[in-house]
Structure 1
Amino acid sequence: MRAVPGRLPINQRGWAWELKQHGVRALAVLDAGGLALLAADGAPLPRDYPGLTRLADDLGGRRMVLDGVISGGSRRSRYHAFDVLSVDGQKLVDEPYVVRRKLLTSLALTRSPVIDVAASHRNLAPAQLAQLARVHKATGIIGKRLAAPYRPGHDSPDWVELDLLRGCEAVIGGWLPAEDDADDGVRSLLLGVYDAVGRLVYIGRVATGFTNASRRALGSILGELVTERCPFGDRPPASGRERPRWVRPTLVADVDYRAIGHDGLIRQPSWRGLRTDVDPRDPAWSGSLRLQLSPHA
């Protein structure tokens, strides 16, 4: 059963929420003969996870089918169970989610050190859900209708997926011109934030979220701020064909993004507009995050 992109339901009393898990989705089939890990189509996973083979023995040889996510490498892996499809031969797919979850937590799965049961949350406001996802470094949440059965192989609106958007204000240090309008159009903006010693640190470029009109308007505004000197402490990476245009760092961009990579650059940024009420050197906002839940893209 797979979640579909969705929105927060108006009445959340009939829903529970789980954090999106990082890893490989897999069905865990346990019986006296051991453990089989299956993909969504029922085929064995193409990769072995010997670190999980102890599960069958740890759980006393009980027969069950679990749905969950595998995290970690082949030998140091862990299974995060979030649903149960059958126990000791009793099929549970027609039972409502709330019944399956209650049974799942009663199985004492954590007798094994390589498995845990993903938390299920109810009666949380959107802001609380967003903060929960941030604390646990999840990319979003999955909403599951309490009365919903489990529909193997189906994309179901009874499970809705929402991403966690992060947002920040960043200083515009330059731009790359549009290929078809080198004088006025903006293809992407080069963004940065000031560090503790006052250096403008490059955090990435934003190229989406603009309208044609906003690209032309930005090109006109930035044209008044052009300078020959790169304002970033370290010059941003660029391909041999790119010719960035630098500007005096006086404008603040408002952007959304999905995550921050290991290289310190924002991932999948999207333009929201200019912030005229923020001083680019004001440390109060530097590095801050704005959180909101958004339909999965």
Structure 2
Amino acid sequence: MTKPPRKPSEPLLGKADAPLRGQPRRRRDPAQHQLTLDPMPARIDPCLALLKPRPPKGRQWAFEVKWDGYRLAVHVEPKGVRILTRGGHDWTDRFPAIVAQAKRLPVSTAILDGEAVVFDELGRSDFGKLQQSLGGRGGKRVSWESVLMVFDVLYLDGHDLTETEFTARRHLLEGIVPPGGEEAIRLSEEIEADGETLLRIACEHGLEGIIAKDRNSTYRGGRGGEWQKIKCIQSDGFAIVGYQRSSSAFGNIGALLLAARKEGQLVYVGSVGTGFKADQAMQLRTAMDKIKVSAPAVRYTGRRKNLIWIKPKLVAEIEYRAWTHDGKLRHPSYKGLREQADNAAIFELDPASSSSENSL
């Protein structure tokens, strides 16, 4: 016996010709958890590393290479990318390769914290090469060779991460900027090593030093000690208060006279006569001759002749090995001028240190 045909079933979503309707929207329970989005800050005051003579010990500390360049914050926003210096100046147009790479990152919004560097032939960050790529201090040249070594993420896809512990921020960062690669934005990798061992290796390879970061710390602006820097060779900013004129030197600069701050006052800390390149010396001489003064900004009792005094407006980055017993820089070498846009700071002497007012 033949079975009667089955009755056609109704379409899965109802009658085919009927309009589709969703469920009526229920009123939101005020007690229900709400996922809020944090407004994106226009700028975040950068966390700065506190100088220490040796690396800290303990499992709470993560270690990275210390990069020698310009501190930058890269803001990825719906309307585009902004690059701000440590002092809050907009340098977006100076780093086109970094901007282009930032637009390709897998984020909707983000603030990345890092250091713009230019590498030498051995793969070391070279502050002088970075300055040359930007046209020198005060220059307006575009730097295509600069690379952003990014080491933190402070804001991500609508969420402020500054109150999040460092370990979690690093985990998120590694999902945005993977290790390795040759792009204009690269991850500053955490190195699994004892601090003392890493510092020794860094110094053997001619690097500037290392950075130690507290894994449990949140992100705070200023030098709170959550981040620490340990250098192979000391390098700091000193005010130029004058120069010794010499007919046989580049730019006629025999030596620069330097000062540090001590309890709010500038004090003389010696001179530097090495490290100048010809083009640097000429640019420096031009800048200094515009701010000549008749009297020095520091007390000077030395015996040098042919001295020209200037207003202490220029800050030089100086490498040095140590301090002498009378408060002078030992084996100093000129690296370049710090940009005002990079919030150039003058080295602060410990108030308990010996006087720096003795003659050479």
TM-score by length of 1: 0.52
Residues 1:95 and 1:138: Cα distance change in structure 2 (over 3 Å): same
Q: Which has the higher strand share?
A: 1
1:268 aligns with 2:320: yes
Give me the whole-angstrom Cα distance separating, in 1, the residues matched to 2:176 and 2:161.
14
Give me the whole-angstrom Cα distance separating, in 1, the residues matched to 2:212 and 2:164.
17
Give me the whole-angstrom Cα distance separating, in 2, the residues matched to 1:34 and 1:64.
11
Provide the residue aligned with 1:100 in structure 2.
169
The list of structure 1 runs, each at least 4 consecutive aligned residues, that deviate by more than 3 angstroms after superposition, is 7-11, 108-112, 269-272
Equivalent pairs, count? 179
Provide the residue aligned with 1:3 in structure 2.
49
Which of 95, 109, 113 does residue 183 from structure 2 map onto?
113
Q: 1:94: how far off?
A: 0.8
Q: 1:66: how far off?
A: 0.4
Residues 1:41 and 1:268: Cα distance change in structure 2 (over 3 Å): closer
Provide the residue aligned with 2:211 in structure 1.
142
Instruction: Specify every segment of 5 or more residues in structure 2 that has no aligned partner in the other structure, as ranges.
Output: 1-46, 119-132, 134-142, 235-269, 272-303, 306-318, 325-347, 350-360
Residues 1:85 and 1:133: Cα distance change in structure 2 (over 3 Å): farther
2:82–2:90 contact (8 Å) kept in structure 1:
yes
Q: 1:18: how far off?
A: 1.3
Which of 76, 99, 111 does residue 65 from structure 1 map onto?
111
Matched ranges for 1:174-213 at <5 A: none
1:133–1:164 contact (8 Å) kept in structure 2:
yes
Residues 1:36 and 1:11: Cα distance change in structure 2 (over 3 Å): same
Which of 92, 117, 130 does residue 200 from structure 2 map onto?
130
Provide the residue aligned with 2:16 in structure 1.
none
Give the SS at the match of 2:219: coil
Provide the residue aligned with 1:25 in structure 2.
71
Q: Which has the higher contact order (CA 8 A, sep 6+)?
A: 1
Residues 1:134 and 1:91: Cα distance change in structure 2 (over 3 Å): farther
Equivalent residue letter for 2:81? L
Residues 1:6 and 1:30: Cα distance change in structure 2 (over 3 Å): same
2:202–2:208 contact (8 Å) kept in structure 1:
no
Instruction: Name the % identity.
Output: 24
1:109–1:115 contact (8 Å) kept in structure 2:
no
Give the SS at the match of 1:156: coil
Residues 1:6 and 1:92: Cα distance change in structure 2 (over 3 Å): same
1:91 aligns with 2:149: no
1:29–1:65 contact (8 Å) kept in structure 2:
yes
Give me the whole-angstrom Cα distance separating, in 2, the residues matched to 1:51 and 1:160.
30
Give me the whole-angstrom Cα distance separating, in 2, the residues matched to 1:145 and 1:30.
26
Give me the whole-angstrom Cα distance separating, in 1, the residues matched to 2:157 and 2:323.
53
Give the SS at the match of 1:129: helix
Give me the whole-angstrom Cα distance separating, in 1, the residues matched to 2:107 and 2:176.
13
Residues 1:154 and 1:50: Cα distance change in structure 2 (over 3 Å): same
1:77 aligns with 2:171: no
Which of 223, 232, 238 does residue 164 from structure 1 map onto?
232
Give me the whole-angstrom Cα distance separating, in 1, the residues matched to 2:323 and 2:151.
35
Residues 1:32 and 1:112: Cα distance change in structure 2 (over 3 Å): farther
2:48–2:222 contact (8 Å) kept in structure 1:
yes
Query: CA offsets, 1:19-44, max 9 Å, x none?
Result: 11121101000123221111234332
Give me the whole-angstrom Cα distance separating, in 2, the residues matched to 1:160 and 1:56.
28
Give the SS at the match of 2:90: coil
Query: CA offsets, 1:64-97, max 9 Å, x none?
Result: 1000011233122211100000110111111111
1:142–1:160 contact (8 Å) kept in structure 2:
yes
Equivalent residue letter for 1:84? V
Residues 1:42 and 1:100: Cα distance change in structure 2 (over 3 Å): same
Residues 1:118 and 1:147: Cα distance change in structure 2 (over 3 Å): same
2:62–2:191 contact (8 Å) kept in structure 1:
yes
Give me the whole-angstrom Cα distance separating, in 1, the residues matched to 2:83 and 2:56.
37
Moved more, 14-23 or 30-39: 30-39
TM-score by length of 2: 0.43
Q: 1:45: how far off?
A: 3.2
1:37 aligns with 2:93: no
Provide the residue aligned with 1:226 in structure 2.
none
Give me the whole-angstrom Cα distance separating, in 2, the residues matched to 1:143 and 1:119.
12
Residues 1:71 and 1:55: Cα distance change in structure 2 (over 3 Å): same
Give me the whole-angstrom Cα distance separating, in 1, the residues matched to 2:144 and 2:109.
23
